[in-house]
Every structure is written in structure tokens, then in C-alpha cells.
Structure 1
Amino acid sequence: MPLLTDKTAIVTGGSSGIGRAIALKFAAEGANVVIADTVEQPIEGGESTVELIRSAGGAAVYIRTDISDWSAVDGLVGATVTQFGRLDVMVNNAAIYTSTNLIDTTPEQWQRVIGVNLTGFFYCSKRAVIQMLAQAPVNDVRGRIINLSSQHGMVACPGDFPYSVSKGGIVQMTRQIAVDHADDLIVCNAIAPGKIITGKPGVANDPGALDYSHRRTPWPRLGHPNDVAGAALFLASDMASYVTGINLMVDGGWMAG
């Protein structure tokens, strides 16, 4: 039996990369999936996430959403519930970065990164919890929130000031939601990916950076988006009903070394 039959999930940033892999994994396990992103076409090219899910017989919709805008997030959750009846899983994945240190980060860059990576997660989590409190529990859980943090929320990434600060905030946000809403039967966890190879442009796929990541990661390969999707599936499923407030490392042993 599929692990997410009759569940409905929102995946922010679900058009590309890790979010796309999570959405595809959830759909393959029976979930209705709402892709919330600022663009529908994937960075990697090819068919959109929604098209891939529908062609495989799954249920998916795309809703253009800037998560740094409360009204957009409010509309996203409202439209999801109108279409599918409830919200079981909110995956907060959408994120941006600037690769700037403290001195080089402009106030505008800071506000934009924090606005998406931290305030956006706050908006999505708050709106999700409002909905989850209004719906009946299923197998003793009203709903689940999965936040994508990063190993850079625990250790500093040189020259990536606003992004790393935002990811550290997400780790604490996860703990806070988990503790504050345990009595409400709402589960909240985070996943901290290590080096994951995606289609993301820029310094992340610079040959020097990849070489450093290979040397720094104990496992003999770097991560794939599907590695993170597997962890998200576990946390979204009934297998993880007594797991809340954790920051699950998916990093090939990087943080253990």
C-alpha cells in the first residue's frame, strides 16, 4: 500500500531540484501534490513537475506563489483545501541565497533572503497550522510540517552569511513549532541536506566547490535530490508519528566527520 494514499501535500519550490524530487516521490506514494513556486518550468529543463506527476497517473496542481507574501501563502493553502479537502503535509523547501559575507551583503540582499528563507517559512507554517487545527486527526496526527534546513544551519559556510543565518533560524523554528503544537497533534521536523547535486546554477556547482565537497563527505558520492526526498517521505508518513522536533541530516556523513 502506498505510504501517502489520500494525503494532500504542498511543496514550496517544487518546480526544480530537491522540491521537485520530493513532489515526485510523494505523488508516487499516492499523495495529491500542490506545487507552490514562482515559476512552473524546472531549472533542469524538461517537463514540469505537475506534467510528470499527471502523466504517471497522479494528482497535482501548480499554484504560483511567492512565500514571502502572506496573502499569497494564505491563498495557496485556501486553494489547496478547496480542491483537495484538507492539508496533511506542508513541505517548506523554497529558498534563495546570495553567497555574500557580512560586509558584502546589502540590506536589500539580507531582507530578500530572510524574507523568503525565514519569514516565508514562518508564513507557510503559520497558515498550515491554522488549517491543521481546523481538521480532524488521521491516525492521531492532524498534520505535518517538514522544513528544509541545511548543514549550514549548524556550521558556517564561508561567505554565505544571510543564507546560513536563515537556515540556523529554521532549525530553531522547527523545534519551537514541534514543542508548541505537540498537544495539537501536529508534527514538525526539518531535513538538513549536505552537498546535493541539482541543476542550480552558480557557485554551488563550481568545480572547486565540488572537489572540496567530495573530500569533505565521507560517503564516496555526493547526494542526489532523491536522497532528500526519501527522508521527506519517511517524515511525511505514518512511520514517523513519534518523531518531532528533529533536524535530520542527509549529508553522507559530513557532519559526523
Structure 2
Amino acid sequence: MMALLQGRVAVISGASSGIGRAIAQRYAAEGATVTIADTAEGPLEGGVSTAEVIAREGGQAWFVRTDISDEDSVNHLVDAVVTRHGRLDVLVNNAAIYTSTNLTETSLEQWRRVIDVNLTGFFLCARRAVAQMRDQEPVDDIRGRIINISSQHGMIACPGDFPYGVTKGAIVQMTRQIAVDHAADGIVCNAVAPGKIITGKPGVANDPDALDYSRRRTPWPRLGKPSDVAGAALFLASDMANYITGINLMVDGGWMAG
């Protein structure tokens, strides 16, 4: 049976760690050539780089240092990918930051930085990707796919993190807009909205009280893993999802259904 992404060229932002790392590994295992776009090559969880893990598993991956909030950096990324591989089939917008501050606690500097990465960064990457995809030959009527990693906090409030929640809500609308505006170009755009995912990254996400609340709030008898999100991102990048565009696919163990 042919791998689901055999011969595809994929770029994944924020793929050195966490969910992006899991998506990169899954794509490579399914035959994609993966570009890891991140500000640092080493994973926040510790250990070897994503590219090295993929190489050990027999896949193809390379790292391009990228600040998605910087237009020149994004242009360099896509130019490097196209020069090396000839095309760009899948963009996964995943890189994101947060402040853990509510409205009155958030400084203007914090607000601008989160907007720059979580929203402007997705815009810059998607805009450059669409420009490339429109000019390349389609594969089964699809010229390219964009997958935005949103969040359940794009659908409901993110308590105590005003900038993050606002950007994730905007990403859901960005996804719909790209899907509608560029369907005629043969470009598919969808989002994946994780619920509570345990990534191993240090910080507020692993606060014991927050984890306890998430366990009680999630109907499924465990919290999510990065591989759960990677499975959804794989589906949306594959030919199984050719007629699916503009959706925000929840991966939350039933949180939003409860």
C-alpha cells in the first residue's frame, strides 16, 4: 500500500518541538519530504532534533531557521524549499506563542508579539505558499494544501490568555477565507483545533491544577497526545480529504461536545 504522502513536499512551522514535531514525523513516515521551519533546531522537550529523529526512522527532513513573523525570513524559507524540491505541496502553520495574561495584564509589547507570530506569521506563510502553489502543476486537481493549527480556544474563551485566544479565533476565520478565495486555484485550506494536548514542554501548560481541570472536563478517558493532532493533520494533507476545505477539525476528546 502506497504511503499517504508519497512524493509530497511539506513545510511545517514550529516543528522542532511539540505538536509540530509530531506532525513532521508522521508526514515523513508517510513518504513526505519535510522542511522543519523554526527559530531553533533543538526541541524544547530536550533530546535530538526533529530532522535527526526522522533520518533515524528512514525519512527525509531538513531544517531551515525561520522567524515566521518576518516577511524576508518566510520568503527565504519558501524559496529554499522550491529551489531544493521544485514545489510546495503542503504548508502546516503551527508555530505559536502565548503570554498567559488577561486583557488588563497584557502589555502592548506582548500583544504585538503574539499577533506578529500567531496571526501575521500565519498570514505571511499562507500568502507566500499560495503564490507558489498557484504557479505549479496540480496533482489530482489539487495544487496545494494549507493546514492551520488553531485551537479549541478559537471556539471558546481561553481563560487568562487574551492574546492567544484572540489569535486562534482569527485563524479559524483566516482558514475559511483562504478556502473560499482560493478554491478556484485548486488550493485546499483547513484547520485542526487541538483540545488539551500534553506535549512535554515546560511551563504553565503543565500546571497540576490546570491538568486536573482538563482531565475532568474532557469526556475521553485521557488527555490528548501530539500524535492525535498529527493524525488529523495527516488526513487533511492526504488525498482522502480532496473535497474538504474551510473546516476547523476538532481534536479534543469530546471537550466541545460536552
**Bin of the TM-score, shorter chain as denominator length:** over 0.9
Q: Which residue number in structure 1 is paired with residue 122 of structure 2?
A: 121
What's the CA shift for 1:45? Answer: 1.3
Please list, as runs of the form range in 1=range in 2, the aligned pairs for 1:191-230 lying within 5 A after superposition.
191-230=192-231
- Between the aligned partners of 1:83 and 1:55, the Cα distance in structure 2 is 21
What's the CA shift for 1:158? Answer: 1.2
Please list, as runs of the form range in 1=range in 2, the aligned pairs for 1:143-182 lying within 5 A after superposition.
143-182=144-183
Q: Which residue number in structure 2 is paired with residue 10 of structure 1?
A: 11
- Between the aligned partners of 2:54 and 2:156, the Cα distance in structure 1 is 36
What's the CA shift for 1:199? Answer: 1.8
Considering only aligned residues, what root-mean-square deviation do their CA atoms show, in Å? 0.5
Please list, as runs of the form range in 1=range in 2, the aligned pairs for 1:1-257 lying within 5 A after superposition.
1-257=2-258
Contact 2:194 2:251 (C-alpha < 8 Å) held by counterparts: yes
- Matched residue type, 1:189: N
Secondary structure of the 1:228 match is helix
Structure 2 unaligned regions, length at least 5: none
- Between the aligned partners of 1:165 and 1:4, the Cα distance in structure 2 is 33
1:148-206 C-alpha deviation (Å, 9 max, x unpaired): 00000110011110000000000000000000000001000000000000122211100
1:40-90 C-alpha deviation (Å, 9 max, x unpaired): 001111111000111222111100000000000000000001111100000
- Matched residue type, 1:236: A
1:82-110 C-alpha deviation (Å, 9 max, x unpaired): 11110000000000000100000000000
- Matched residue type, 1:79: A
- Between the aligned partners of 1:199 and 1:105, the Cα distance in structure 2 is 26
> TM-score with structure 2 length normalisation?
0.99
Aligned residues, how many? 257
Contact 2:90 2:144 (C-alpha < 8 Å) held by counterparts: yes
Secondary structure of the 2:180 match is helix
Bigger mean CA offset, 84-93 vs 47-56: 47-56
- Between the aligned partners of 1:121 and 1:137, the Cα distance in structure 2 is 23
Identity %: 74
Contact 2:45 2:202 (C-alpha < 8 Å) held by counterparts: no
- Between the aligned partners of 2:184 and 2:233, the Cα distance in structure 1 is 23
Secondary structure of the 1:219 match is coil
- Matched residue type, 1:200: K
> TM-score with structure 1 length normalisation?
0.99
- Matched residue type, 1:86: R
